[in-house]
Structures are given as C-alpha cells and as structure tokens.
Amino acid sequence: MSVQPSTAAALARAVQSGASSPQALLEAALARIRMARSLNAVVSLNAGAEAAAMWVAERVAEGETLPLAGVPIVLKDNINARGTLTTCGSRMLANYISPYDATVVERLTAAGAVIVGKANMDEFAMGSSTETSAHGPTLNPWDRSRVPGGSSGGSAAAVAAGLVPLSLGSDTGGSVRQPAALTGVYGLKPTYGRVSRYGLVAYASSLDQIGPFARSAADLALVMNVLAGHDPRDATSLDVPPAFRVGSPDELRGLRVGVIRESLEGNTPGVEAALEALLAALRGAGAEVREVSLPHLRHAVATYYLIAMPEASSNLARYDGMVYGERVPAEDVSGSMTATRERGFGHEVKRRILIGTYALSSGYYDAYYSKAMRVRRLIADDFGRAFGDVDLLVSPTSPFPAFRLGEKMGDPLAMYAADVDTVAVNLAGLPALSVPAGFETVGGVRLPVGVQFIAPALGDERLTALAGALEGIGVVRVEPARA
C-alpha cells in the first residue's frame, strides 16, 4: 500500500479552507519524522515550531491568504533559523544555536510555512553522500544500504520519504540536484544570486546557492515564488522578481533541447535508458533535440575543486573556538585555536582546507587557483555558446544511481567524480533542475534516476515550466519511497 503524500499546495489549501490546521499538519509531520528516525534524515527539531504553527493559524483566522499556510518544511542544517541548532553536520558547531533567521527563513515564515526541523548533511556541505556528517550518514529511503547522495542528503531523504512536502538544501557543486536524483524527487539549483544566501553558512562563496526539494512541479513553482527575490543583506543578490509557474505539454513544441555530448560516456545502463526515454518523450511532444558539445566540461571537476577548496579554506578560517562554537582550552590562543580545529573538523574538511591552503599559498597561486579561475571562464563560455543554439541543455544528474554506504569513503577522487555532471553549472552560475526520470533496478531493488535540465542565467522560470510540461505528458513523476 503506497499513499502519495500530500503536496504543499494541497496542504496550504486545506489550511486556508479550514479543512486542516497548521497544528495538525505539524503533529502529523513530527509523527512521520519519529517513525522514520532510523533514516537519520532529520537531526534536530525546532522547539519554536508549535508557536509558529499557532501564529499561522491566527493569521489565517484573521483572513490572511498565505501561499504556504501551515506547510511543514525542513531546512538543511547549514541554514540559520532563530532558536534552532545549526550544526552544519560538524562537531565544531555541535551546540551552536542560531541567534537569527536566514532571509529564506523569514520569507518562508512570512508565507505561512512552519520550520519543523533541520536536515542532515555532509560536514560543512563537503561530500556527495551525507556520510561525512558528525551525526552519521542518512540512509536512502529506497534502499537503506545505500546513500541518499549529498551534501543535502537529509533534505532529499525527508522529501523522498514523504516526511515533509518541501525542504531546502544548498548546492555548491550539485548538493541539491545529485541527492534529488538519488532519492527520486525534484531538486532545483537557482541562478547564482536569485535566492538570498544571508544566513546560509558559507562553504565556497562564489558557488553556493540555496535551492528547494519538492515532489511536484507546482510545489517547486510555489516555493520558488516565495524564496526568490532581492535581499539588500546579500551583496550578490539579484533584483529579479520571481515569476515561477507550471507549464503545459504544448509548450514543448519547438523547444530546442541540447544534449550534452560530454555527459553521455560512462553512465550506467539505467541512467542511459532513463535519459533516452525522456528525450524520446520530448521529441514526441514536438521538441527539437540535438547533441551539443561543451569541450571544456571534462575539466569541470578539477576546476571546481580547485576553486571550492581555496574558498573553503578561507571561509572556514572563522572556526577558531574564540567567539562561538566549540573550544578546546590550551595555554595560549594559538594553541587553543589549533586544538579546537583539530578536534572540531572531520577528515574531509581537513583535506579540503589543506589543499585549499596549498593552492592559495605563495608560489602555487598562479598554477592552481588563478589557472582554475581561467578554465572556469572557458567552461562558462562553452555554456554561453551552447545557449546560442538551444533553449535548454540536458544531461544525466549523476552517472549512476545511489551507491552503497561506505563504497566511496576510502577514495576521495571517486567521491569527487560523483559530481561530474553537476559542478559545471555552479562554475557558470546557471540554474538547473534535476527531475525524477525513472528507475534502475540493481540487485532486485529499484533505485531512482535523475535527469538534469540546465537553463541560461536567469532562465530559472523555464525549469518549473518544463517540469509541469513533463508531468503533463507523464514522463516525469515522483513516486513514494516505501521506506
């Protein structure tokens, strides 16, 4: 028996009409989270959730119309919400309680959403499997011996398992799209600057972007209309008002879709089949599908890590145990900082800080960091040229479905390779959406497969429109995971 969980849109309508209440929706979400505790998707609850639900009920009773009235939402644990633990999956911030709300939290709350809790993640968003978390790994609801992807694996698993209809993650190199693909839900990475990052704990600032997970195109459009927009507190925020909507199948006629040639090698048979089926459906609906080449994409992973690691080493310098976070006492300040960082950070974080420090250090800067920023330009130019000929680009989101827990933890390069299809989008700052595109059966278990659509900068609205059209022709749909 599998019941399709309610969408955010349906829940908000029920609250608005009086058929349900924010308190009832909160209770139900908490009960589901308790039942699914073994997934380890949600790592802490919001003590203020009940008060928030009551406040929404009052506003609705007073006649306010709220787009997300009473909708329970979980946030990746690197997004600040006042009064909640914000650990970033790290021992360093094990007891850190946010004193303020991120802009996305203000916007969600104003729209009537109720923050239920915080979702597990790779430590400081550094990983592709949620296994580097100090809270332990999150399990994939489709197969508990496998990872949910990462780094926003908790947020993805929470939506895939139907605990909440919506969640937020952050995507620095694929951390929303890849877990969305591996758990069979939608995951959107907006254009760099469309969603404020005020209150998001920084990992690699020229790449980080907050994005949602959802189970329907309508919910995706609904939440993006709440999240997107200018924020004077984020200097990289763009002043582009949101106009997200769900498209219909007739909009596929004449749509020019470019398949990225460089992404067609090395995929598993199930990923290949899902992509082929989707392309056939697009052609059938009147889209023009052609192959395009982006020759510099093969350097995207190296370029990405050579930019992300230096930025991380710089951003994470703030964790010294002096004014907040954990502190290990020592004789003097330098000894205390060193001991604090040695105990507070996990292996992957240390690895990235050290390489980032190396790449920025005198004598190596030109060969590594500066070189990577130049290749980044070439990758962005490849996208620019491709979008001269097509409206959207498409590729697998990941070359393989969910891998086994522990499978890649011993080999950092194998883990980094899991990002091969996603990192270039962040380098270029583009919007991209992973859609659930089918399943690959591995050892008798169906594992979700995702396909990624990429739009030109500020073309985010095309992606929710497309998702609606793909749902309309029946080629994309979210199935409930039977966790």
Partner 1 sequence: MSARILAFMIGPVSSAAPLDAREVEHLARLARLDLTPQEQDNLRGDLGRILGYFEQLRGVDTAEAEEMQRPVSLINVLREDVPGEVLAPEVVAALAPEREGGFIRVPRTVEQD
Residues 345-384 contacting partner 1, CB under 8 A: 345, 347, 350-351, 353-355, 357-358, 361, 367-368, 370-378, 380-381
What span, in angstroms and rounded, lies between the C-alpha atoms of 389 and 304? 26
Q: Minimal distance in Å, beta carbon 79 to partner 1? A: 17
Question: Could you tell me the two tokens for 156?
Answer: 């993805």
Nearer to partner 1, 34 or 343 (CB): 343
Nearer to partner 1, 161 or 307 (CB): 307
Which residue from 235, 241, 388, 443 is in contact with partner 1, where contact means CB under 8 A?
235
What span, in angstroms and rounded, lies between the C-alpha atoms of 153 and 131? 9
Nearer to partner 1, 276 or 381 (CB): 381
DSSP for 17-70, please give it.
HTSS-HHHHHHHHHHHHHHTGGG--EEEE-TTHHHHHHHHHHHHHTT---TTTT
**Residue numbers 106-165 binding partner 1 by CB under 8 A:** none
Q: Minimal distance in Å, beta carbon 207 to partner 1? A: 8
What span, in angstroms and rounded, lies between the C-alpha atoms of 9 and 216? 9
Q: Which stretch binds partner 1 (CB under 8 A): 24-32, 35-43, 284-292, 317-325?
A: 317-325
Which residue from 5, 70, 117, 321 is in contact with partner 1, where contact means CB under 8 A?
321
Q: Is 244 helix (H, G, I), strand (E, B) or coil?
A: coil
Q: Which stretch binds partner 1 (CB under 8 A): 111-119, 223-231, 241-249, 315-323?
A: 315-323
Residues linked to residue 439 through DSSP beta bridges, in sequence order: 448
Q: Which stretch binds partner 1 (CB under 8 A): 103-111, 152-160, 328-336, 470-478?
A: 328-336
| Active-site position among 76, 118, 189, 408 | 76
Q: Minimal distance in Å, beta carbon 412 to partner 1? A: 6
> Is 336 known to be catalytic?
no
**Residue numbers 242-271 binding partner 1 by CB under 8 A:** 265-266
Side by side, the strands of the sheet bearing 256-260 are 42-45, 114-119, 72-76, 166-170, 210-214, 186-189, 432-442, 445-454, 392-396, 256-260, 288-292
Q: Which stretch binds partner 1 (CB under 8 A): 235-243, 249-257, 285-293, 387-395?
A: 235-243
| Active-site position among 175, 237, 313, 395 | 175
Q: Minimal distance in Å, beta carbon 331 to partner 1? A: 7
Q: Minimal distance in Å, beta carbon 162 to partner 1? A: 30
Nearer to partner 1, 283 or 318 (CB): 318
Residues linked to residue 75 through DSSP beta bridges, in sequence order: 118, 168
Question: Could you tell me the two tokens for 204?
Answer: 């690699």
**Residue numbers 11-70 binding partner 1 by CB under 8 A:** none
What span, in angstroms and rounded, lies between the C-alpha atoms of 420 and 299? 9
Burial class of residue 194 (count of CB atoms within 10 Å of its CB; 0-12, 13-18, 19+): buried
Which residue from 142, 198, 213, 416 is in contact with partner 1, where contact means CB under 8 A?
416
Q: Minimal distance in Å, beta carbon 94 to partner 1? A: 12
Question: Could you tell me the two tokens for 87?
Answer: 């650990």
Contact 466, 281 (CB under 8 A): no
Burial class of residue 277 (count of CB atoms within 10 Å of its CB; 0-12, 13-18, 19+): middle
* Residue 329 DSSP label: -
**Residue numbers 70-109 binding partner 1 by CB under 8 A:** 96-97, 99-100
> Is 151 known to be catalytic?
yes
187, containing H or E segment: strand 186-189
Contact 133, 120 (CB under 8 A): yes
Q: Minimal distance in Å, beta carbon 145 to partner 1? A: 17
**Residue numbers 291-310 binding partner 1 by CB under 8 A:** 296, 298-299, 301-303, 305-306
Task: Please list, in sequence order, all residues whose beta carbon lies within 8 angstroms of the beta carbon of residue 156, skipping any fewer than 6 positions away.
Answer: 148, 149, 167, 169, 176, 179, 180, 182, 183, 185, 187, 213
Which residue from 329, 363, 444, 474 is in contact with partner 1, where contact means CB under 8 A?
329
Q: Minimal distance in Å, beta carbon 378 to partner 1? A: 5
Contact 244, 124 (CB under 8 A): no
Nearer to partner 1, 16 or 205 (CB): 205
* Residue 186 DSSP label: E
Counting residues that bind partner 1 (by CB under 8 A) gives: 82
**Residue numbers 424-443 binding partner 1 by CB under 8 A:** 427-430
Query: Is 273 one of the binding residues for partner 1 (CB under 8 A)?
Result: no
Contact 448, 184 (CB under 8 A): yes
Q: Minimal distance in Å, beta carbon 147 to partner 1? A: 13
Q: Pairing between strand 288-292 and 256-260?
A: parallel
> Is 371 known to be catalytic?
no
Nearer to partner 1, 64 or 342 (CB): 342
Q: Which residues are catalytic?
A: 76, 151, 175
